[in-house]
Amino acid sequence: MKKWLALILLLLTGCATAPKNTVTQVSTIDALLAGAYDGQMTVGELLTHGDLGIGTFDALEGEMIMIDHHVYQARADGTVRLISGDTATPFASVVNFKADMTTCLKGALTEKTFQTSADKLALNQNLFLAVRLDGTFPSMKVRSVPKQAKPYPPLAEAVQHQAVFEYTNVTGTVLGFRCPAFVKGVNVPGWHLHFISKDRKTGGHILDFTTAGGILQLDTCNRFYMILPEQQKFSTLDLSQDRSKELEKVEK
């Protein structure tokens, strides 16, 4: 009965969408770095703000991949599962993805040359860029983080227990964001990409990849909407420090 109610609510609220070209974000990256892993918004509500995005889950349990109105959890045991609407996220960035540029990427590219190619297409580094690449990947290196126990350790400590997976010749989707440099402390400046395979069986936070090409879609966004936690934990965090060094460690 509860499930039906959730489904009806999701169908009703699913129509309410954020204005176009809006990146919606839950919490801040520095709060996550400081160990604020308690879920703030349900996946059901997050889906009313977008249909493509990345993030994590309550207690830092795995990597989030939102794609085509579905949310998947890439877990530290290497499995991927479809997540129901009542699971919460402590940190996520999503967008109602509408490509304003679509191109066929050909030839072998590394992660770096892929980024350079996308940068050439989306020159304005001071806007948000949502990215989706459906293609084939000769190599794909991803990670996921296991569920954390309270008191939560800082993210730099938690990722020491990350599980790393390397796949060869996989088909799937690379998606995420290139954020402007000025989001420092709020989100990840530069590129932050996650992967999910076409069969939805593997995925995670990308550490490195090569691609043999695919369809690249880019959506430049000039609106940014933040939803900050109202919990006691957030109000007591020291968010005055510069955590860029920690972030660098955590991302790679």
Least Å distance, CB 179 to Zn ion, is 12
Least Å distance, CB 232 to Zn ion, is 26
Of the pair 176, 214, the CB lying nearest Zn ion is at 176
Of the pair 109, 250, the CB lying nearest Zn ion is at 250
Look at residue 138 and give its three-state secondary structure: strand
Confirm if 163 and 58 have CB atoms less than 8 A apart: no
Q: What's the sign of the alpha-carbon dihedral 182, 67, 247, 109? A: negative
* DSSP letters spanning 116-141: HHHHHHS--TTSEEEEEEEEEEEEEE
Distance (Å, whole) CA 95 – CA 46: 10
Least Å distance, CB 14 to Zn ion, is 25
Of the pair 47, 250, the CB lying nearest Zn ion is at 250
Interacting positions 192-251 with Zn ion (CB under 5 A): 205
The one-character DSSP state at 144 is E
Binding of residue 178 to Zn ion (CB under 5 A): no
Q: Which residue is nearest to Zn ion (CB)?
A: 205
Of the pair 10, 142, the CB lying nearest Zn ion is at 142
Distance (Å, whole) CA 65 – CA 68: 10
Residues within the interface to Zn ion (CB under 5 A): 205
